[in-house]
């Protein structure tokens, strides 16, 4: 039962219908020597146009600790800064999970067991043992720049960093910060640093967070696309350490960039489950 909840929480860790596929890019801009502040500024402003996004079709695979895996067909709808909705099907098109995330809460329906889970968004970090909130999930799913750590309002600040130039820009935060998952436990603190690979178009290709205290990692990798409605065709996300690791892979088949209806309600016969 807990695995089902974990699956759904990690699957949160996105005009006309358009196929999303990788296409080698032409006319790639020349890499210029820019400061980390300038690269970060350009990558932060390089956001998708519009406020409504639907990942119409996606193939999703989740691996838990190398011995348990799940495969889904899925759909995700996003209204920027407002709501993320998802539905995932197993074999024969049977809906297994449905979820809704807002800046305040997470609700997951287990359609197979007729159960549901509900929790405030600020409890999500302690459940996944990694800091994350609504805007982080939104940034990751949209392929936009995700900054781990302290947040000021809706945007985080980025500390001083060093830049390495190759086929793109690679930069790493030069200092450590801390965050307590549980405000009642003063010793529950993780020190970390973060690194990014930004391509010549100022899109995020790789994003890695390293926690020094427990050797945990939080890695995000994207396969870019030339599709005008979206930034990537495939997402790989992993959380864990050398012993235990959870891996999420999502391959996008088609995407829409238009407003769509979102219907979500908890059936009266569903039983609420506690975590």
DSSP string computed for the chain: -HHHHHHHHHT------EE------SSPPPPP---HHHHHHHHHH---SSSEEEEEEEEEEEEETTTEEEEEEEEEEEETTTEEEEEEE-GGG-EEEEEEE-SSEEEEEETTTTEEEEEEGGGHHHHHTS---HHHHHHHHHT-----S-EETTEE----EEEEESSSEEEEESS-EEEESSTT-TT-EEEEEEEEEE-TTS-EEEEEEEETTT--EEEEEEEE---TT-SEEEEEEEEE-SS-EEEEEEEEEEEE-S---------TTPEE---
Span 212-270, pLDDT tens digits:
767 788 899 999 887 778 899 999 999 887 777 888 899 998 888 778 778 899 999 99
- The pTM score is 0.83
pLDDT in tens, 163-198: 777 778 887 765 455 544 444 444 444 577 788 899
Mean pLDDT of 71-100: 92
pLDDT tens by residue, 100-124: 999 999 999 999 999 999 999 888 8
What residue spans define the domains of the chain? 2-21+34-267
Domain 2-21+34-267 of CATH type 3.40.50.300: no
């Amino acid at each position: 039962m807990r695995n089902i909840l974990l699956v759904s929480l990690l699957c949160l860790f996105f005009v006309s219908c358009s196929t999303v596929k990788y296409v080698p890019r032409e006319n790639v801009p020349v890499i210029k020597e820019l400061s980390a502040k300038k690269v970060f500024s350009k990558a932060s402003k390089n956001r998708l146009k519009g406020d409504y996004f639907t990942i119409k079709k996606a193939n999703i695979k989740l691996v838990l600790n190398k011995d348990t895996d799940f495969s889904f067909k899925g759909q995700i709808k996003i209204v920027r800064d407002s709501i993320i909705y998802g539905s995932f099907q197993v074999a024969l098109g049977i809906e297994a999970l449905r979820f809704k995330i807002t800046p305040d809460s997470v609700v997951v329906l287990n359609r197979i067991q007729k159960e549901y889970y509900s929790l405030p968004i600020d409890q999500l970090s302690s459940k996944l043992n990694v800091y994350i909130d609504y805007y982080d999930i939104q940034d990751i799913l949209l392929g936009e720049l995700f900054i781990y750590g302290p947040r000021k309002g809706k945007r985080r600040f980025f500390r001083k960093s060093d830049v390495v130039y190759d086929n793109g820009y690679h930069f790493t935060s030069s200092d450590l910060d801390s965050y307590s998952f549980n405000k009642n436990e003063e010793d529950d603190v993780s020190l970390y640093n973060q690194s990014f690979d930004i391509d010549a178009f100022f899109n995020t290709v790789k994003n890695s967070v390293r926690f020094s205290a427990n050797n945990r990692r939080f890695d995000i990798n994207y396969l870019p696309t030339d599709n005008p409605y979206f930034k990537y065709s495939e997402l790989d996300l992993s959380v864990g350490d050398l012993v235990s690791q959870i891996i999420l892979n999502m391959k996008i088949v088609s995407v829409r960039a238009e407003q769509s209806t979102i219907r979500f309600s908890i059936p009266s016969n569903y039983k609420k489950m506690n975590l």
